[in-house]
């Protein structure tokens, strides 16, 4: 058998030898560190087998040999204390029945417990300190840890116990003044985050590890900007939400991504009401293979609906989400349907066959410049397709219909926005005249969605640039895809029919700032390593987006980050006549007539000259 100092057998032999040593030390202490009288030494020797037998059994029962000395900590100390105290009591009881404790002074028992506790704990802690000292003297980048909280403590513990981590924790930085100049696992909290440049120079730091999973995105943005100014590599732990099911270790460290600084604080949802409202329902998601639709399907799968119908016209996207759901939710009853929402026969067949309780309508064309030249296709898909789906839902007795809209529908300057605003009006009108409850959810850009600016910038940076920005002052609202989908479900739960819910998108972000941050996060310098070029606004594009119209008064709701826009009233009969004319114009493919009728449907539509 191979002999290892850290093996369970070695630990057992060590603890076994400590028992008689502690027993005789207790007698020695009892007699004031002088020679033990012969009669008491004889009693100690005769009772030794009982002491060893009882203590070994108790130690095994309490699991003293399961712990690894290198990771000895407070739980191990508590376990040893329990074993020692229990062993002392059982030994005293056993010897009392054996020989009435003859020749054994009463003070020996507590002295034995104290001596054994020290002999068992001392070597373990000394071994751990020795291993950590060896690790600190080993190779690795000298690291500064931002955040002297629980996450920072766990990260340092893992670094000290992992020789292959590649990092040597040297110093902490934390903004809490009551932690300054204190030490955590021998590592000093030497300053605040604003003092980072000074700390890096003073302590010869080679890398920064951000261990603040509870930081808001504004705080994270500040930390990242300071790290970037120091021109030093940095990594971060994921957010609290992402760490809930895992431990803090070096394996969790990753590069800071744009979502860390442009995303927003986690949404607090009423999952109980969402689950009770959506569970055991048949749900249809159109555009289920797209960025929003696919994430919405994943979120819905968590509440286990009776059946989930995924409808999309892109075969590959439909295949991907169907396979992913089948893998992660094998008990989910799901159906993948390939089809076009503007194909009335297909839509009627699907809705009538599966009889959904709720429809989430996420299918839409959304590329603004492209649709400026494809007016007929934009109207046919985004508006006429919505009309066909909504009318079919009414005929089939679908209880609730959720239209997923966009901030581009507010004071639209492009065809895409105008078609989405027309779809909003359509749903509001149908809500007044039918039993189906129509709910609209409106929000801005989502990070990393298909066709969005983030993947475009990522590709341009990978190619060496330049990164193209349309205008120096252009701004956009941003939200993560999971957050948007969760708020859509919350809006469906909260809605009674006829509402236009507006998601609180936070503060708008300058696209120039987004480009600069993505370049820096890739390890490059904007303007030096990778250029930023301003190419001018594209057809239909606005400098800034709006989430609500001047006549739509935003009303707070009981749910965080969910606002209610006061809906505007339209003459439903006149509006229905115009949309019928628009549908006929689409069949005739007369683009100029289509555009003119679209402007009549959406009076605030002011198309910019291309």
| Share of residues in the chain with pLDDT > 70 (%) | 86
Tell me what pLDDT residue 365 has.
Answer: 93
- CA pair distance 114, 557, nearest whole angstrom: 62
Q: Using alpha carbons only, what angle is made at residue 332 by residues 328 and 334, rounded to the nearest 5 degrees?
A: 105
Give me the residue label for tokens 């009853």. Answer: 333
Residues 6+ apart with CB under 8 A from 467: 457, 460, 461, 515, 518, 519, 530, 531, 532, 533
> Domain boundary at 133, 149, 165, which?
133
Domain annotation covers residue 1:
no
Q: Concatenated DSSP letters for 391-435?
A: HHHHHHT-SEEEEEEEGGGSS--SHHHHHHHHHHHHHHHHHHHSS
Q: Are 190 and 171 in contact (CB under 8 A)?
A: yes
Residues 6+ apart with CB under 8 A from 345: none
- Note whether 120 and 158 are same-domain residues: no
Residue 71 in this model has a pLDDT that exceeds 60:
no
pLDDT tens digits for range 242-262: 544 445 555 566 666 676 666
Q: Are 499 and 442 in contact (CB under 8 A)?
A: no
Residue 240 in this model has a pLDDT that exceeds 50:
no
Tell me what pLDDT residue 217 has.
Answer: 73
Report the CATH number that the domain containing residue 578 is assigned in CATH: 3.40.50.720
- Note whether 210 and 314 are same-domain residues: no
Please state, rounded to an integer, the average pLDDT across all residues of the chain.
82
Domain annotation covers residue 513:
no
Q: Is 231 a catalytic residue?
A: no
- Note whether 304 and 433 are same-domain residues: yes
> Domain boundary at 84, 113, 133, which?
133
- Note whether 96 and 185 are same-domain residues: no
- Note whether 414 and 310 are same-domain residues: yes
Domain annotation covers residue 450:
no
Q: Are 312 and 318 in contact (CB under 8 A)?
A: yes
The shares of helix, strand and coil residues in the chain, as percent rounded to the nearest 5, are 50, 15, 35
Domain annotation covers residue 262:
no
pLDDT tens digits for range 532-591: 999 888 887 778 777 666 666 677 777 777 788 877 777 778 888 889 899 888 888 888
Domain annotation covers residue 272:
no
Backbone phi, psi, residue 320, to 5°? -60, -50
- CA pair distance 536, 342, nearest whole angstrom: 34
Up-side HSE of residue 248: CA atoms within 13 Å toward CB? 23
Write out the residue range of the structural domain in which residue 21 sits.
Answer: 8-133
> Which of the four pLDDT bands, split at 50, 70 and 90, describes residue 387?
very high
Q: Are 211 and 146 in contact (CB under 8 A)?
A: yes
> Domain boundary at 114, 133, 152, which?
133
Instruction: Specify the DSSP element, H or E, that contains 1.
Output: none
Q: What's the 3-state SS for 59-83? A: HHHCCCCCCCHHHCCHHHHHHHHHH
- Note whether 52 and 173 are same-domain residues: no
> Which of the four pLDDT bands, split at 50, 70 and 90, describes residue 126?
confident
**Which of 69 and 396 is assigned the larger pLDDT?**
396
Instruction: Specify the DSSP element, H or E, that contains 302.
Output: helix 291-302
Q: Is cis: bond before 114, omega within 30 of 0? A: no
Q: Concatenated DSSP letters for 144-190?
A: EEE--SHHHHHHHHHHHH-TTSSEEEEEEE-S-GGGTT-EETTEEEE
- Note whether 32 and 169 are same-domain residues: no
Give how far Cα 500 sits from Cα of 176, 216, 405, 572, Å. 43, 28, 9, 17
Domain annotation covers residue 101:
yes
- CA pair distance 95, 100, nearest whole angstrom: 6
- Note whether 218 and 287 are same-domain residues: no
Give me the residue label for tokens 């600069």. Answer: 516
Tell me what pLDDT residue 93 has.
Answer: 84
- Residues 137-145 have a mean pLDDT of 74
- Note whether 303 and 402 are same-domain residues: yes
- CA pair distance 404, 293, nearest whole angstrom: 10
- Note whether 395 and 296 are same-domain residues: yes
Instruction: Please give the torsion angle defined by the CA atoms of residues 137, 141, 146 and 152, in that order, rounded to the nearest 10 degrees.
Output: -50
Query: Which one of the listed residues 366, 408, 420, 561 is annotated catalytic?
Result: 408
pLDDT tens digits for range 164-178: 667 888 889 999 888
- CA pair distance 236, 224, nearest whole angstrom: 10
Total number of domains constituting the chain: 3
pTM comes to 0.66
Q: Are 397 and 437 in contact (CB under 8 A)?
A: no
- Note whether 298 and 170 are same-domain residues: no
Domain annotation covers residue 606:
no
- Note whether 60 and 112 are same-domain residues: yes
Q: What is the end-to-end Cα distance of the chain in Å, rounded?
A: 82
Residues 6+ apart with CB under 8 A from 210: 146, 147, 220, 223, 227, 234, 235, 236, 237, 256
Domain annotation covers residue 610:
no
- CA pair distance 368, 373, nearest whole angstrom: 9
């Amino acid at each position: 058998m191979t002999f290892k100092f850290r093996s369970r057998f070695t630990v057992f032999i060590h603890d076994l030898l400590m028992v008689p040593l502690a027993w005789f030390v207790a007698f020695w202490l009892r007699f004031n560190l002088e020679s033990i009288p012969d009669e008491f030494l004889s009693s100690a020797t005769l009772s030794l087998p009982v002491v060893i037998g009882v203590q070994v059994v108790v130690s095994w029962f309490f699991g003293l040999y399961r712990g690894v000395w290198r990771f000895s900590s407070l739980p191990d100390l508590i376990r040893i204390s329990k074993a020692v105290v229990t062993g002392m009591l059982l030994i005293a009881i056993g010897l009392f029945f054996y020989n009435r404790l003859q020749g054994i002074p009463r003070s020996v028992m507590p002295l034995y417990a104290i001596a054994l506790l020290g002999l068992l704990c001392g070597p373990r802690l000394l071994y751990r300190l020795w291993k950590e000292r060896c690790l600190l003297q080993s190779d690795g980048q000298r690291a500064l840890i931002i955040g002297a909280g629980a996450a920072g403590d766990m990260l340092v513990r893992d670094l000290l116990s992992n020789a292959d981590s590649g990092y040597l924790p040297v110093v902490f930085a934390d903004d809490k003044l009551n932690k300054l100049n204190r030490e955590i696992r021998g590592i000093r909290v030497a300053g605040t985050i604003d003092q980072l440049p000074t700390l890096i120079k003073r302590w010869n730091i080679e890398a920064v590890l951000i261990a603040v999973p509870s930081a808001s995105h504004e705080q994270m943005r500040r930390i990242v900007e300071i790290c970037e100014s120091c021109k030093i590599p940095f990594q971060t732990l994921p957010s609290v939400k992402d760490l809930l099911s895992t431990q803090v270790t070096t394996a969790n460290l990753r590069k800071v991504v744009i979502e860390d600084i442009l995303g927003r604080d986690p949404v607090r949802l009423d999952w109980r009401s969402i689950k009770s409202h959506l569970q055991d329902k048949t749900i249809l998601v159109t555009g289920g293979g797209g960025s929003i639709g696919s994430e919405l399907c994943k979120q819905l799968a968590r509440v286990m609906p009776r059946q989930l119908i995924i409808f999309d016209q892109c075969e590959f996207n439909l295949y991907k989400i169907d396979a992913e759901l089948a893998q992660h939710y094998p008990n989910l009853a799901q159906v993948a349907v390939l089809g076009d929402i503007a194909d009335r026969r297909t839509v009627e067949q699907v809705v009538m066959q599966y009889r959904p309780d709720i429809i989430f309508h996420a299918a839409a064309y959304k590329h603004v410049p492209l649709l400026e030249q494809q007016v007929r296709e934009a109207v046919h898909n985004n508006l006429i397709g919505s009309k066909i789906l909504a009318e079919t839902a009414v005929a089939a007795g679908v209880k609730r219909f959720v239209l997923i809209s966009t901030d581009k529908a507010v004071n639209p300057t492009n065809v895409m926005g105008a078609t989405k605003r027309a779809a909003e009006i359509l749903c509001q009108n149908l809500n007044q005249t039918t039993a189906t409850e129509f709910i609209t959810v409106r929000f801005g850009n989502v990070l990393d969605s298909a066709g969005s600016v983030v993947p475009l910038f990522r590709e341009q940076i990978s190619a060496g640039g330049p990164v193209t920005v349309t205008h120096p002052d252009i701004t956009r609202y941003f939200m993560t895809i999971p957050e948007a989908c969760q708020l859509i479900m919350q809006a469906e739960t909260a809605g009674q029919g006829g509402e236009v819910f507006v998601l609180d998108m936070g503060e708008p972000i300058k696209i120039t700032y987004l480009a600069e941050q993505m370049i820096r996060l890739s390890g490059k310098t904007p303007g030096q390593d990778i250029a930023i070029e301003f190419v001018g606004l594209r057809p239909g594009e606005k400098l800034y987006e709006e989430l609500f119209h001047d006549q739509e008064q935003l009303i707070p709701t009981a749910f965080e980050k969910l606002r209610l826009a006061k809906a505007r009233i339209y003459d439903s009969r006149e509006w229905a006549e115009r949309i019928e004319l628009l549908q006929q114009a689409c069949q005739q493919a007369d683009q100029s007539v289509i555009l003119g009728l679209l402007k009549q449907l959406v009076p605030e539509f002011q198309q910019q000259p291309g």
